[in-house]
Structure 1
Amino acid sequence: MSPPTQAQRDEAERDIGLPVRVFRGPAAPTALVLHLHGGAFQQDASNCHDAVARLLAEAGAVVVSVDYPTGPAHPFPAALRAGFRALQSLATHRAAWANRRARLFVAGEESGGNLAAALAMMARDQGGPALSGQILVSPMLDPCLASASVRDADAGPAGCRLADGWHHYLGAPELAAHPYAAPANASRLARLPPALVLTAADDPLLDESLRYAERLVAAGIEATSHVLPAPTGWPGALGTNTADECPCAPIARRLFSDFLAQTALTTRPPLRAEGASR
């Protein structure tokens, strides 16, 4: 397996409207991924690990990781709107980022997983861009924080960090009922793209991640979930150096690669008119 790719600034970030880092693997890409970092809606990209983006690039994608607005000054729906504009831009200019037939995905971990799930809903409701899949790594989906896995972690800093993140992101308590803000509360899950959901055995977000995958399957969506044997600190533990790589990193890389390959069999590449740069 190749070593992690190097993050590079791309001048095309002006087409996105947000600062970006671009991750490219050694092989010709078949997928273009909009990646949204974690950080519980409170940290910008400079303070978050980039392990998920790197592993996705190694799995065969061009990964555009956006630094979306965070913190109490940017409550819902600021980050979602910024992410959707970025998604539209990637769809329009996919030839400049990857190639004109590259299939489009959304991906994210923690708060970024929330945004990726919400973007999949928003793209469905807005009639596009068409997505080939959504990759959700321990997504923050339920502001109630009432699951057993959250309660088990509540004595430590993880529970407080999640609660603070939801408080800042929602701004007003009634927004917890909005499906784009809290995808766990969405009542309509039909017609969403295929989903890959990853979590870990000691993850505070374990229960809500698995429950969301189950609900997607019940709604007729192709969705698979995996519980990785990750150490404490997941998903940041994925970001260790290759010399002492977390044992869960090769597993995640393989699952990403398999998902990208499997969705190629069930989704069509974009038409030239949809994917060409204007």
Structure 2
Amino acid sequence: MASAATAARSADPPPGPDELQDCSAGLRLYPANRALIDPELMSVMPVLTGMDRGPGGGATTPSSIVETRQRLKELTKGRPAPPPMPGVRMEERHIPGLAGAPPVRVLVYTPEDAGAARPGVIEIHGGAFVLGAADGGDARNRQLAKDLGAVIVSVDYRLAPENPFPAQIDDVYAALTWLHDQAAALGVDPARLAVTGGSAGGALAASLALRARDEGKIAIKGQFLIYPSLDDRPFTALDPTCRPGAAPVERAYVMYLGHPPGPDNVSPYAFAARAPSLAGLPPAFIAVGSVDGLAGQDIAYARRLIAAGVPTELHVYPGAFHGFDMAANAGVTKRSYQDLLAAMRRALR
């Protein structure tokens, strides 16, 4: 029998139109109602609240992007580097870009005791296609290399607006090609390759899986997408505090594509949800928070993958927002990492 409290909650009427937030100022990556958030994640909200206006946060014009990049550098300047993780070495390399493109900087993380034929993973950083660098995932990539016994190649792809699409997908495809072709020298098994990334990096990982399928030269064993941004078209977020209606065009997407998003001819190598068919893609792992503004499109993409016959594992973490894993000690962050690790081990064994 339901308790009185449960009965009272079930009898509450849904919020009326006048009680809902106008979320038309931008895609909300974080809910307006903070009560929906896992309390363990609240410690990182001050760092992330500047991103509430959209995937690029305050970086919505070319000049503000330069300022944001400089501010991020200032925040990290002077901080002591973390101690090297025993058993993992990191090497910076500059590898050939695709024909006519500049070299691509990559960071290669290699476990020292994982045998001669390790799995290889392309890791792609986030940052709304306009921010970020391979170095930002250093601690996580070291941990993943050690726990998975794999070579992790983190890619410093070119950023918009200076380098609009397809520079980003070209650079990560160049890195995948290099990892495959240099597998023997890197101690990697070319039959056990995977791609992963978070946010914009998840978008590029999904598009990289599509491009590898279409090119037909490199087989990928798994795509591991962390709260990926998969669709440029307007959509309604799942945030129950928002009035129904489509989110507006994001300025970061405009700078990434080089034109306003939304037209029919946007390439699936820019946003994977644009692909007419997902058949033949490698097994997918998708993780997103229930209060992440991207949850709706991530769930929709998972459903399309399943309908196309692609083995798909979807995790929707209660109370988690975009970038929740910045709270390294939160229970949901630890669970999500273990879920990711287990899925990678199954795909790459």
Residue 282 of structure 2 aligns with which residue?
193
Name the amino acid aligned to 2:185. Answer: A
Larger radius of gyration: 2
Residue 132 of structure 1 aligns with which residue?
221
Residue 333 of structure 2 aligns with which residue?
249
Question: What's the offset of the Cα at 1:240?
Answer: 4.6
Q: How does 1:106-117 map to 2 (within 5 A)?
A: 106-117=195-206
Answer 1 or 2: which has greater helix percent: 1
Contact 2:125 2:134 in 1 (8 A): no
Query: SS where residue 148 of structure 1 aligns?
Result: coil
- Of 93, 105, 125, the residue aligned with 1:37 is 125
Partner Cα distance (1:52, 1:250) in 2: 12
Partner Cα distance (2:214, 2:225) in 1: 19
Q: How does 1:7-26 map to 2 (within 5 A)?
A: 9-14=90-95, 17-24=103-110
Query: SS where residue 259 of structure 1 aligns?
Result: helix
Contact 2:145 2:151 in 1 (8 A): yes
Residue 275 of structure 1 aligns with which residue?
none
1:164 paired to 2:251: yes
Contact 1:58 1:253 in 2 (8 A): no
Contact 1:109 1:136 in 2 (8 A): yes
Count of aligned positions: 253
TM-score, L = length of structure 2: 0.64
Name the amino acid aligned to 1:139. Answer: P
Partner Cα distance (2:140, 2:257) in 1: 25
- Of 185, 193, 201, the residue aligned with 1:96 is 185
Q: Deviations over 1:144-173 (max 9, x none)?
A: 24132379689xxxx89x812211111123
Q: Identify which range, 207-216 or 249-258, moves more after superposition.
A: 249-258
Matched residues, percent identical? 34
TM-score, L = length of structure 1: 0.79
Q: Deviations over 1:200-235 (max 9, x none)?
A: 122111111111111001001011110124644x32
Partner Cα distance (1:46, 1:263) in 2: 24
- Of 220, 225, 232, the residue aligned with 1:143 is 232
Q: Identify which range, 7-16 or 223-232, moves more after superposition.
A: 7-16
Residue 178 of structure 1 aligns with which residue?
267
Give the direction of change, closer, same or farther, for the CA distance of 1:102–1:189 in structure 2 (3 Å limit).
closer
Query: SS where residue 215 of structure 1 aligns?
Result: helix
Contact 2:106 2:134 in 1 (8 A): no
Partner Cα distance (2:316, 2:142) in 1: 20
Partner Cα distance (2:331, 2:265) in 1: 36
Partner Cα distance (1:102, 1:138) in 2: 26
Contact 1:59 1:253 in 2 (8 A): no
Partner Cα distance (2:230, 2:212) in 1: 18
Partner Cα distance (2:326, 2:294) in 1: 19
Contact 1:5 1:57 in 2 (8 A): no
Q: Identify which range, 14-23 or 203-212, moves more after superposition.
A: 14-23
Question: What's the offset of the Cα at 1:73?
Answer: 1.4
Residue 63 of structure 2 aligns with which residue?
none
- Gapped regions of structure 1 (runs ≥ 5): 266-278
CA RMSD of aligned residues (A): 3.1
Residue 270 of structure 1 aligns with which residue?
none
Partner Cα distance (1:107, 1:200) in 2: 17
Q: Deviations over 1:238-257 (max 9, x none)?
A: 2455xxx2222321222222
Contact 1:5 1:24 in 2 (8 A): no
Give the direction of change, closer, same or farther, for the CA distance of 1:117–1:101 in structure 2 (3 Å limit).
closer
